[in-house]
Structure formats: structure tokens, C-alpha cells
Amino acid sequence: MTTSSNNLAVMKTGANLVLSDLFNSIKLPSEQQKNALTNLLEQGVPTLRTERWRYTTLRKAISNQLKLVDTTTGELPQHPALAGFDAEKVTILNGQLHGAISITGAELNISNDVSKLDSHKHDDGFIDNTNIAFVENTLKLDISKNIEQLIVLHFHHTIASSLLANRLEIVAARNSSATIVVLHTSDNDLNSTLVPVTTLNAGANSQITLINVQDLGSHTFQLAKTHAHLNADSLFKFTQLEIGSQLSRHDVVVDVLGKGAEFVHSNLLHGTEKQVLDTHLDVYHHVDHTQSSMGVKAVLDDKSRGIFNGKIYVEVDAQQVNADLQNNNLLLSKFAEINTKPELEIYADDVKCAHGATVGQLNEESLFYLRSRGLDKEAAEKVLVSAFSRSTYYGLVPSVLEEWLDARLGFES
């Protein structure tokens, strides 16, 4: 496995070296893994000089203390978020699958094959390549029909100072539908780096709702990617809630490939203490008559930092596209910070694309109204902050999850 690294000596500094050394500890890497590492090292680990990473440093997330997971023990977690669900739960503990799904029409399998979705060179490929280079098993979730029951997957991690790459590949057949809840947690003091990648191939006329809750321990790093391909008339609703972790970078890439396909996105970056929450959202409209609507909200307290980069890309000849991206941010502390960039890249003329971003205080009039009804200023502010955050998940997630989120975020329901 030293073949690829020899001629890449230039890039073998710092974080690049950490990753190539880590890779050397894999006993029998597949060709696919080797290729991924080669790509990874050719491009190098991004630095603050890399445009897509200008506000987020990987210095701490990729440190030389990292090792690969070599044990599969650990206690199965009982996470309160899932306590209320009567749905079947599948746990993936330190990368190992526990439990199974016995729902007709939904099949969960483990596979060694990594079927990477074509990225169309959307991003630097860093998270993808890292995931593929280090992933051990891929979870394949096949949805073949309309499924009423919830599918709940819980990824939990307990091994300190480790790098773990999980991969979930969802394939939704033509005319199928499902709601999938994915929860990512880790032990609170766990200083590991997780690289989870989720892919979705939404078949024609399928309807997939994906709810991704990231509530990792406050020392854990996450470098995540969610990549969806939407075929004709499919509908993908993606609710992304970033609550935990020390640093969470989540790249969301959506390729809208078939006429009539629609993407609906809701995202909450809820930062406290010194958290860094970074979402890069890229929506590519490749064909005509497609839609997307995205709402991203950041509520940042203490010394937390939020980063949001949202891009709507409309391909040549992709006429009659309707795309809307709204990003609203609240800074609750003197030391909190938001960096946001809602981009438009448009190559077709008959489209309706709009984006908006706001950074601001709470609505003065609402505040006044609540106070005139007898709430003190602090209470009124709390009500408005919770209303702002809640709008990212109310009505979009199962009610038991709503209740847990309210409690987790300290909102009175």
C-alpha cells in the first residue's frame, strides 16, 4: 500500500501524513480504497486557503492521535431521543450492525461494495474520498415499495481517538416511499472523528423523507456528507438537525436529474459553547421543470460559530426551474459568529431562483407584543428564539422526536 504514497511526497505533510499513515494500518485495503486514498492525497487535506474550507479548520479533527477502530465491543446505547419510538430500531455501534429490519419492502444489508454516486465534480471530494478510503462495511437500505412504518437507524460511537467512516446507501425503487430517521450520537467526551456518508438514489416518482439528527458528544468531530440523486418526479425531503459535536461539517449535495423532481430541505445549526457547525449545501438542477426549496437556520450562542454555504446551480437548458434558498441567522452572544454565503450559479434564462440571508436580532415588534402581554424580556426572547429554531423541525419530524428536540434544546413545549 505504499505505491500511491511514494509519488505523492509533496502532499505528505501534516494532515495528509496522518491519513496516509492511518491507511497503512488497514490490513487488506481494496482497490477502491486505494484509489480513494490516492485521490485524497493528490488533492490534499483542505486548509483554510481552500475556498470551501475557508472558515473551518481540520487541524484538530485530523490529528496524529487518530487510530482506526480495532475492537467491536461496546454497550448498546439507549438514547432518549429514540425512547418514544415504537418503531423498530437498528443500531450501528462503532461501525457494527446490531439488529435488523423486518419491514416488508425495506431491506437492510451489509456490503463491501461502495457504489459511489457520481459527484459531477461538485466539491473537492475530500469527505467522499476519506469515507471510501476508511470505510469497512457499507449499509445498503433498499426501499422497494410504500412503507408506512418509520425506519430508525442509530449510529453510536464509543471508541476514543479513532477515525470511523460509516456509509449508508439508500436506494429507493420507482414509486416507493419511506421515512427514515438517522441519529448520530457518541459518548460525550469522545474525541474521535467520524466520517459518515449517506447516499440516496431516489427512483422515479419515489418519495423519501430523511431526518438526520446529529447529537454527538461535545468533543467529537464529524465530517459528513449526504448526497442524493433525484430521478423524475421524485420528492426528497431532507431535515438536517445539527445539535451536538465539537465540529460538524456536513456537505449536502443534491443532483436533481429528472423532470418533475423536487427537493425540500430544512436545516438547523444549533450552536453553543465553542461549537463549529458548518453546512455546505449544493443543489444542482440538471434538467428543466425541477424545484427546490431550502430553509437553513442558525442559532448561535456562547462562542459558537456557524458556517453556511448554499449554492443553487442551474445547468444550461434547465429551463423552468424554481429554486429558493433562505438562510436566517440569530446570534445570541457577543462572541458568536456566522459566516454565510448563499450563491447562485445560473446558466439558463427561464428560471425563477431566489435566495435570501438575514442576520439579525429578534423581531422587535413580536418582542414588544409578548412583553405587552405580560412576559418579561428574557422570557419573551426565549419564546421567540424557540419559535425560530422550532420552525426547522415542527411538523417535519415525528411528534416523539419533536418532543425530545424541544427538551434537548431547552424549549418549553
Partner 1 sequence: MKAIEDQIANKYKHGFVTDIDSDTLPPGLNEDVIRHISRIKNEPQFLLDFRLKAFAHWKTLPKPDWAKLNIEPIDYQAISYYSAPKIDENAPKSLDEVDPKLLETYDKLGIPLHERARLAGVAVDAVFDSVSVATTFKDTLHKAGVIFGSFSEAAQNYPELIEEYLGTVVPIEDNFFAALNSAVFTDGSFVYIPKGVRCPMELSTYFRINAANTGQFERTLIIADEGSHVSYLEGCTAPMRDENQLHAAVVELVAQKDAEIKYSTVQNWYPGDENGVGGIYNFVTKRGDCRGDRSKISWTQVETGSAITWKYPSCLLKGDDSVGEFYSVAVTNNYQQADTGTKMIHIGKNTKSTIIAKGISAGKSNSSYRGLVKILPSAENARNYSQCDSLLMGSTCGAHTFPYIEAKNPTAKIEHEATTSKVSDDQLFYCRQRGISEEDAVNMIVNGFCKSVFQELPMEFAVEAQALLAVSLEGAVG
Residues making contact with partner 1 (CB under 8 A): 51, 316-317, 319, 329, 331-361
Nearer Cβ to partner 1 (51/376): 51
Sequence-distant (6+) residues with CB within 8 A of 119 are 125, 128, 227, 253
- Rank residues 72 and 361 by Cβ distance to partner 1 and give the closer one: 361
* Residue 124 bridge partners (DSSP): none
**Are the C-beta atoms of residues 33 and 130 closer than 8 Å to each other?**
no
Supply φ then ψ for residue 270, to 5 degrees. -110, 95
CB 291 within 8 A of CB 265: no
- The minimum distance between CB 407 and partner 1, in angstroms, equals 25
Residue 176 buriedness (CB in 10 A; 0-12 / 13-18 / 19+): buried
CB of 51 to partner 1, least distance (A): 7
Closest CB to partner 1 among residues 66, 330: 330
Cβ neighbours of 110 (radius 10 Å): 12
Of the candidates 105, 59, 130, the one whose C-alpha atom is nearest the C-alpha of residue 276 is: 59
CA atoms within 13 A on the CB side of 404: 17
Q: How far apart are CA 268 and CA 295, in angstroms?
A: 9
Report residue 111 CA to chain centroid gap. Answer: 22
Residue 157 vs 285, nearer CB to partner 1: 285
Closer Cβ to partner 1, 264 or 344, answer by number: 344
Spacing of C-alpha 340 from chain mean position: 17
CB of 382 to partner 1, least distance (A): 15
Toward partner 1, which CB reaches closer, 82 or 307? 307
Nearer residue to partner 1 within complex by CB, 162 or 279: 279
Shortest approach of partner 1 to residue 315 CB, angstroms?
Answer: 11
Task: Reduce the DSSP state of residue 271 to 3 states and report it.
Answer: strand
Helix, strand or coil, per DSSP, at residue 367: helix
Q: How far is the CB of 254 from partner 1 (least distance, A)?
A: 19
CB of 122 to partner 1, least distance (A): 14
For the CB of residue 316, give the shortest distance to partner 1 in the complex, in Å. 7
Q: Which is nearer to partner 1, 388 or 393 (CB)?
A: 388
Nearest-approach distance from CB 312 to partner 1, in angstroms: 9
Cβ distance to partner 1 smaller for residue 114 or 283: 283
| 325 contacts 289 by C-beta, under 8 angstroms | no
Instruction: Tell how many helices (H) and how many strands (E) occur in the chain.
Output: 8, 22
Q: Which three cell numbers stand for residue 269?
A: 445549526
Find the shortest distance in angstroms from Cβ 47 to partner 1: 16
CB 85 within 8 A of CB 179: no
**Comparison of 110 and 354: residue with beta carbon closer to partner 1:** 354
Distances (CA, A) of 283 to 202, 262, 322, 357, 366: 15, 11, 12, 17, 33
Minimum Å gap between C-beta 187 and partner 1 is: 32
Q: Going by DSSP bridges, is the β-strand pair 221-230/247-256 parallel, antiparallel, or unpaired? A: parallel
